[in-house]
Amino acid sequence: MTIVRETDNECTVSIGEGEFKVFTQIYYSGNEWCAKVSNQGQVYQSKCIARKTDTDWNTIYSVVGIMVVLFILIGIINSIGKNKTPTKSPTTSNDPVETVAVSTVDEIEKLSKLKNRRIITQEEFDLAKKKLLK
């Protein structure tokens, strides 16, 4: 296959050799893109496609409008999901004091593990524990 750019608006593609060499010429003519398929000077197919030069603002406004509506709907759906109160499992306590105590104990255990692995110092452990117990 050989591709030759004839001008800024035209190129020719050729495939094959000798009597089997087929040329496809693609070019821009005014407001149309055209293509011709030929062999040995005989044109077998020619097709032009009109190119729009004006902007269809009604279509653009419609697409933008649909996108805005979808964006608003997605925002509403997300806000509804965030406002739901989490459901409590039957095994958890309803006593807020007990829940705070359990989470504080869990946090102190985590800090202790970090201290034992020497990721934090004794001073850092004591400071963090003091903050948790306030």
Q: Tell me: the pLDDT tens digits for 70-113?
A: 767 777 777 776 666 656 555 555 555 555 566 788 888 888 88
What's the mean per-residue pLDDT of the chain?
Answer: 77
Q: Is residue 14 part of a domain?
A: yes
Q: Is residue 55 part of a domain?
A: no
Q: How far apart are the first and last CA of the chain?
A: 80
Indicate if the pLDDT at residue 19 is higher than 80: no
Q: Is the pTM of this model over 0.75?
A: no
Q: Is residue 111 part of a domain?
A: yes
Per the CB < 8 A criterion, the answer to whether 12 and 23 are in contact is: yes
The whole-number average pLDDT for the span 14-24 is 80
Look up the domain containing 21 and give its range.
Answer: 2-50
Q: Is residue 70 part of a domain?
A: no
The pLDDT, as a whole number, for residue 10 is 82
As a whole-number percent, the residues of the chain with pLDDT over 70 amount to: 76
**Overall number of domains in the chain:** 2
Q: Which of 14, 16, 19 is nearest to 4 (CA)?
A: 14
Q: Is residue 116 part of a domain?
A: yes
Within 10 Å of residue 123's Cβ, how many Cβ atoms?
8
The whole-number average pLDDT for the span 40-56 is 78
